[in-house]
Amino acid sequence: MAPSLESHIIPQGAEIGADTLISRSKVTVIGSGNWGSVAAKLIASNTLRLGSFHDEVRMWVFEETLPSGDKLSDVINATNENVKYLPGIKLGKNVVADPDLENAVKDANMLVFVTPHQFMEAICKGLVGKIKTDAEAISLVKGMEVKMEGPHMISTLISEQLGVNCSVLMGANIANEIAQEKFSEATVGYRQNREAAEKWVQLFNTPYFNVTAVQDVEGVELCGTLKNVVAIAAGFVDGLEMGNNTKAAIMRLGLREMKAFSKLLFPSVKDSTFFESCGVADLITTCLGGRNRKVAEAFAKNGGKRSFDELEKEMLQGQKLQGVSTASEVYEVLSHRGWFELFPLFSVVHEICIGRLPPSAIVQYREHKSRSS
Amino acid sequence: MAPSLESHIIPQGAEIGADTLISRSKVTVIGSGNWGSVAAKLIASNTLRLGSFHDEVRMWVFEETLPSGDKLSDVINATNENVKYLPGIKLGKNVVADPDLENAVKDANMLVFVTPHQFMEAICKGLVGKIKTDAEAISLVKGMEVKMEGPHMISTLISEQLGVNCSVLMGANIANEIAQEKFSEATVGYRQNREAAEKWVQLFNTPYFNVTAVQDVEGVELCGTLKNVVAIAAGFVDGLEMGNNTKAAIMRLGLREMKAFSKLLFPSVKDSTFFESCGVADLITTCLGGRNRKVAEAFAKNGGKRSFDELEKEMLQGQKLQGVSTASEVYEVLSHRGWFELFPLFSVVHEICIGRLPPSAIVQYREHKSRSS
């Protein structure tokens, strides 16, 4: 066999395998829900195509037994489809489902975290000492918690627990639309390592999924969380049938508060991040569709007489809305820091959610404030 | 009668009328269409309330004879309603309709221009030498022309023709929603004179209509025009049923091109202007509703087989879409300056409008471009 181009640069006599030869990176996706499966599909199309990655993409599956009695991971490997969370979509033959977390990560150079946020702490604990020390991580997990002393970023949790550099990927990303290869965009937020960020872009970018990297991990990650509070506000406007002017105004005020809140907590956050997919585009998608908007619309239609708890049970089979809990967390920060005046929209969303104010307060609060830009 | 507070500062022996006494400004609205009538209503509520304005608001009416045989201006003055362009809404008893342009403007200190843009040149010509030399003007007119050598701003036309300072007011402003006093926002863009801008804010701002001033007349005015090109793109996405991700992505790319185009033409344009109501909020409103979006949607649904001319005739009773002509004008600038690479979305919108590319090109163009942020 003719030597490959790359082999010319290998020192004479070196005894190395084909992978190390051109230092191909191995990728593991930790999570196999709807978004995790789509991420695996995107990644798998690129690892096949690009020489800098190992073809195989390992996907850790939280094992479940399907109604048929089969294990989910077995069915994924047999059919190349996640029949439970992304039915009808081929993931790529180079995606290998693995129910053993420790085994799934042990050789990985690049770790993609994409699980529900409430599992992240336990998963990180379980991974301590099990991963390569020079691995790079990226978080696609939305919904970090905002504690009184400030936000608990999931990228920070990963970095601190596992001692690895962690970027984030956020954007206007309804998983099923990307699975159907409809055009969309996303933003990689990175801390310092531009080279690692470019590698993440290579790994995710496809003709129908355009990825851009910005050096602003906190800005990108906060966008992914705070937009859900604005989506609740947009849902109230929809429920009150206030029209497109008002909805656009509330979305704009929300974007402004997202920016101001992020910058007060992290002075390094950049204005330009809010023009990226993770900012204005994700906000638009979330305020047009999305379950936060939908349940808030129902809440306002009922004049606040049926609680979010009740509506969530009915509409989401008991799942909790991110936006309602984030609004409550943000409210605590505002209270703790004396910032209510600076964030009238965020404040009023929480007060409506807990029934202290009627849904119509979503616009009335503006009428008693002096203007500010 | 007890002397008013203001009279204390009047020099002894001064012989002046009550208006000059506290130098109340007289306001004339030039235009009485849908948006002009709403503007008159907003203004009239403030001139009554605030001591710094003369109560009466004069509104120039392009005279029409109604089917009843009555003159439009007579009916407005008799009923306090613009029965043709804003039926059912009381304008305020202090609004006086006047079909004589010269008479309407002769005492005015503040001139509000709000006519269709194609009438502006003739109106300005007719006003030369007829207005107070120290009058302040503001333009609410959307749809300036973009010529090969750059945009012909309507604020510039007014300033140059009449020798007065001219600000602009733009925003997410569907006139009928504001007439119903639903909450919305607007942006005043001013050139130098901050004091004049604050007076415009006072004149327009109400509890349900929040106005903010920014020193960026070109940025604000360009937003009001360029957003219509993006609305055409958004309409194509809707017609192709590509979903919310894609629509949000196209709106974001459009906002980015609006910003880049404005800044290349006027380096003084500020990024922050695009976060104001005239920027992101007006873009959202226009891409959710609006006739540009609607006709573009129909165009895409028909696979581009029925021309815009044909659809406009059918859907708009022969009225022309702003977005289609602006896209063509912008395309000329791009061609003249060699900027196609910098503005792929603006370019492709025009090429779809004229049938050179199919509607589906609205997303495909991204697939053949290298990424750029």
Pairing of strands B150-152, B145-147: antiparallel
Mean pLDDT of B113-141: 95
Question: pLDDT digit string (tens) for B267-294?
Answer: 999 999 999 999 999 999 999 988 999 9
Which tokens go with A318?
A: 């008991």
Interface mutation target, options B183, B188, B293, B360, chain A, most CBs of A under 10 Å = B183
Cross-strand bridge partners of residue B167: B138
Q: What percent of chain B is modeled with pLDDT above 90?
A: 83
Q: What rounded mean pLDDT belongs to chain A?
A: 91
* DSSP string across B30-63: E--SHHHHHHHHHHHHHHHH-TTEEEEEEEE---
Tell me the pLDDT band of B142, cut-offs 50, 70 and 90. Answer: confident
Give pLDDT, residue A321: 86
Tell me the pLDDT band of A6, cut-offs 50, 70 and 90. Answer: very low
Phi, psi of A14 (to 5 degrees): -70, 135
Mean pLDDT of B301-311: 94
User: Cβ of B285 and A259 within 8 Å?
Assistant: no
Give pLDDT, residue A369: 46
d(CA A304, CA A301): 8
Extract the runs of DSSP E, i.e. beta strands, from B239-359: none
Of A318, A223, A213, A232, the closest CA to residue A262 belongs to A223
Nearest to A210 among B182, B243, B371 (CB): B371
Cross-strand bridge partners of residue A30: A60, A113
Residues 6+ apart with CB under 8 A from A284: A172, A251, B244, B247, B248, B251, B252, B284
Q: What is the pTM of this model?
A: 0.90
Domains of chain B: 5-215 (3.40.50.720), 219-363 (1.10.1040.10)
Which tokens go with B252?
A: 């974001």
What is the distance in angstroms between the Cα of B103 and the nearest Cα belonging to chain A?
A: 35
**CB-CB contact of A71 with A63 (8 Å):** yes
Q: Is B356 part of any known ligand binding site?
A: no
Tell me the pLDDT band of B367, cut-offs 50, 70 and 90. Answer: very low
Residue reference for tokens 């956020």 = A170
User: Cβ of B183 and A246 within 8 Å?
Assistant: yes
What is residue A164's three-state secondary structure?
coil
Relative orientation angle of helices B291-301 and B322-337, to the nearest 10 degrees: 80
The separation between the first and the last C-alpha atoms of chain B, rounded to the nearest angstrom, is: 67
* DSSP string across B88-147: T----TTEEEES-HHHHHTT-SEEEE-S-GGGHHHHHHHHTTTS-TT-EEEE-----EEE
* DSSP string across A2-52: PPPGGGGGSPTT----HHHHTTPEEEEEE--SHHHHHHHHHHHHHHHH-TT
Neighboring chain A residues of B289 at a CB cutoff of 8 Å:
244
Nearest to B366 among A210, A242, A253 (CB): A210
Please give the DSSP secondary-structure letter assigned to residue A281: I
Tell me the pLDDT band of B366, cut-offs 50, 70 and 90. Answer: low
Question: pLDDT digit string (tens) for B30-70?
Answer: 999 999 999 999 999 999 999 999 999 999 999 999 999 99
d(CA A251, CA B284): 9
Question: pLDDT digit string (tens) for B71-106?
Answer: 999 999 999 999 999 999 999 999 999 999 999 999
Give pLDDT, residue B117: 85
d(CA A267, CA A219): 10
Q: Is the ipTM of this complex over 0.85?
A: yes
In b/e form, how buried is each residue of A298-319, taking b as 16+ CB within 10 angstroms?
bbbbeebeeebeebbeeeeeee
Give pLDDT, residue B234: 98
**CB-CB contact of B141 with B114 (8 Å):** yes
Give pLDDT, residue A82: 97
d(CA A151, CA A171): 19
**CB-CB contact of A256 with A344 (8 Å):** no
d(CA A199, CA A165): 13
Q: Is A34 part of any known ligand binding site?
A: yes
- Which residue in chain A has the smallest CA separation from B212? A373
Tell me the pLDDT band of A197, cut-offs 50, 70 and 90. Answer: very high
Mean pLDDT of A70-75: 98
d(CA A273, CA A21): 38
Q: What percent of chain A is modeled with pLDDT above 70?
A: 91
* DSSP string across A114-146: -S-GGGHHHHHHHHTTTS-TT-EEEE-----EE
Catalytic residues of B: 227
Question: pLDDT digit string (tens) for B201-246?
Answer: 999 999 999 999 999 999 999 999 999 999 999 999 999 999 999 9
Neighboring chain B residues of A183 at a CB cutoff of 8 Å:
242, 245-246, 249, 363, 366-367
Query: Annotated catalytic residue: which of A227, A263, A294, A301?
Result: A227
Question: pLDDT digit string (tens) for A17-54?
Answer: 444 456 899 999 999 999 999 999 999 999 999 999 99
Task: Provide the CB-side half-sphere exposure for B289 (13 A, CA).
Answer: 15
Mean pLDDT of B125-154: 90
From residue A223, alpha-carbon distances to A220, B114, B116 in Å are 5, 38, 39
- B111 or B17: which leads in pLDDT: B111
Q: Is A3 exposed, middle or buried (0-12, 13-18, 19+ CB in 10 A)?
A: exposed
Question: pLDDT digit string (tens) for A293-318?
Answer: 999 999 999 999 999 999 999 998 76
Neighboring chain B residues of A252 at a CB cutoff of 8 Å:
172, 185, 275-277, 280-281, 284
Sheet architecture: strand order including A95-98: A95-98, A53-60, A25-30, A110-113, A136-139, A165-170, A184-189, A209-214
